[in-house]
Amino acid sequence: MFHDLHPCRHPDLPARLRDETERATAVVLERVLEEIPLYRTLDPVQLADVRETVRIGYEATLELWAAGRLAAPEQLPPFRDNGATRAAEGRPLPLVLRAYRVSGLGIYDYVVDHPEVRLDPEEERNFARLTMAFVDQLSNEVTLGYVETTGQLANQQGRARREFLEDLLAGRLLGAAEVDERASTLGLVLPRSPRLIVAAPRLGDGSGLVDHARIALRELDRSHQADDDTPFRLQLITRGQLVLIDQAADPAHVRRALDAAGLTGVVLTVENLVDLAGAYQQARHVHEYLRTAVVSAGTVVAGDEASLLAVLAKARGDALTKPATSAILGDLLTPAHAVLLETLDAYFLTGNSVSAAHRLGVHAQTMRYRLKRIREITGRDPGLGWDRFLLETALRLSDRPDRVT
């Protein structure tokens, strides 16, 4: 489109206009500030940087006009660097590109409206085409530098946030002041009572944790949008679990998000991020217990539920637990009675024999026979209050290889 550019027909004109660089820069800069009000809020150092960019652009435009060509590749890196600088400053790319367009138009108007410049229509058109093409060239370079730096900054920021969460989970931060300082350097405003979420796919689900996590995060974002809230979040995938520190307006949102993603999870409110390490250990152990003990398929537990399960999870590893559970369940723990143990599991999960039979895909009569055998072997009736409590507690604390999922 711009291959037919030609050198200025007045060889001395670009050089004469270059002698007015300082005045032209001031005029064009004033136009930028007038048309882009946000630039008026820049600090003196930033404003001086913009002025220098305008000055370089003005001189380069005159040089190219004299030569009748666009910028050579070796002339473009400074403008790509300019895009990188603007990205690092956090200045929006559309605003930066608009400043370049306004500057280009300002340079064009300064030249063609100059009282000592008389351009015929063809030369004026040539200068307009060159200015437009040069601005397009610079915009492309600025965009490349901006996008490249933005990606690098995002990667660095993401890495720094992951390291921050890892340190919190490991208890490597010694006090509130250190936590606040690290958060401040990452641009994070810590919520008063964030929620710790530890989640993983349901037992037996062979799909990847990353895919489940992506769905959960998307659903959590939707809940924040519904609350017109900006989410605070730190996230990490470790030890086969998704770990989140999330500011959720409603615990029910977390439950729905994890359920939609096919995850089991433990949700704890953390009053002080300094104490996150202890809460994380509790949540992780409860979650492992939740999945293997099959309290309820796809369960998300929070608050007091998690605290109670923490007690059970701890008791499961106690030296006294195995003898106690073996005494109550007896021969049900032997491989020969694995079907009866599965039946007991289903009975406790569903709450009655009819639903348990449906869950296992067996006839009601078969279910009744199996419950009878359980009573004969253990001497306890799973339908009676105290016996049910003992049998289910022993079942949840037992260390058996095959579990209903």
Taking the CB of residue 45, how many other CB atoms lie within 10 A of it?
A: 7
User: Where are the chain's structural domains?
Assistant: 13-153, 189-316, 321-397
Find the mean pLDDT for residues 22-51: 92
> Could you tell me which CATH number the domain at 13-153 has?
1.10.490
Of 197, 196, 193, nearest in space to 265 by CA: 197
263-269 and 300-302 beta bridge pairing: parallel
pLDDT tens-digit profile of 172-188?
A: 887 888 888 888 888 88
Residue 151's pLDDT band, with cuts at 50, 70 and 90, is confident
CA dihedral 40, 41, 44, 46 (to 10 degrees): -90
Strand order in the sheet with 300-302: 233-238, 241-246, 195-201, 263-269, 300-302
Residue 38, H or E segment? none
Q: What are phi and psi of 246, to 5 degrees?
A: -130, 140
189-316: CATH topology = Alpha-Beta Plaits (3.30.70)
Give exposure, 55-71, as e/b (b: 16+ Cβ within 10 Å). Answer: bbbbbbbbebbbbebbb
pLDDT number for residue 127? 94
> In terms of pLDDT, which residue wins out, 98 or 220?
98
Name 327's Cβ contacts closer than 8 Å, sequence gap at least 6: none
195-201 and 300-302 beta bridge pairing: unpaired
pLDDT tens-digit profile of 107-142?
A: 999 999 999 889 999 999 999 999 999 999 999 999
Q: Within a 13 Å sphere around the CA of 73, how many CA atoms are in the beta-carbon half?
A: 0
Name 19's Cβ contacts closer than 8 Å, sequence gap at least 6: none
Q: What are phi and psi of 156, to 5 degrees?
A: -65, -40
321-397: CATH topology = Arc Repressor Mutant, subunit A (1.10.10)
Tokens of 212: 């489940």
Backbone CA torsion sign across 346, 352, 353, 357: negative
d(CA 325, CA 321): 6
> In terms of pLDDT, which residue wins out, 167 or 302?
167
pLDDT tens-digit profile of 209-234?
A: 888 888 888 888 876 655 545 567 88
